[in-house]
Structure formats: structure tokens, C-alpha cells
Amino acid sequence: MAISANAAAGALALAAWGRPSLRGRWVWFTTGVAEALLCAQVLIGVILTSGDRYEAPQIHTFYGLIVFATVTIAVASRDSMRGRLEMLYGLVGLFLAGLGIRAALQVL
């Protein structure tokens, strides 16, 4: 769900960047929900691996860290990207979706 949401939010944000008439609160709402889903997934992974019953592969843990860092950097970069926020969050959304796909394929 988090992968699909980030792919859709990234594509929508890039479309809004290319076409200003598509911009609006819905872009930010969609992006926020998608990133919140991914951060919730990382938090659930942290909770599961903090106990002794489950141990995630090291690469999977690394991907979770990269997801969290990417969202943090995107939020911190908002002021310097004025006028290009849709582009930033579009690329971030697609990057996070790709990272999620890669992490999911590592489990298989």
C-alpha cells in the first residue's frame, strides 16, 4: 500500500509541477498520506525488530533508514525549493516507491 501510494503521489506531484492548473491542497494531502504510510511501515518494522522474535535482513533495515532520511531531507528542503516543491515531492515520491519495490524484492 505504501509503495503504490508513493508512486501515485509522486506522479501526481510531477503532473502538478508541469501543469500549474493541477496544483492545490490535494497534492499535499496525497503526498502527506503516502509519506505517512511509509513512515508508519518503518515504525512497525522498528517495533517488530526491537524484540527477540523477529530479525529482519540487514539490507531491509538499511532501506528503512534511507526512507526515513529521505522524508526528513525533503521536509527540511522545503524553504530552498520554493516554486519547485511539486517537482521535489514528485521525485521523492517516485524514489520512495522504487526503494520500496527494491526492499520488497530483497525479501523474496
Tell me what pLDDT residue 58 has: 82
Rounded Cα distance, 31 and 68, in Å: 15
Tell me what pLDDT residue 108 has: 64
H helix or E strand, kind and range, residue 8: helix 2-18
75: burial class by Cβ within 10 Å (0-12, 13-18, 19+)? exposed
What is the number of other CB atoms lying within 10 angstroms of the CB of residue 18? 11
Domain hosting residue 89, numbered range? 2-107
Beta strands in the chain (DSSP E): none
State the pLDDT confidence band at 52, using cuts at 50, 70 and 90: confident
Q: Report the chain's mean pLDDT, rounded to a whole number.
A: 89
What number is the average pLDDT over the span 52-74?
Answer: 86
Please give the share of the chain, as a percent, with pLDDT higher than 90. 45
Tell me what pLDDT residue 96 has: 93
How many domains is the chain built from? Answer: 1
Is 80 exceeded by the pLDDT of residue 61? yes
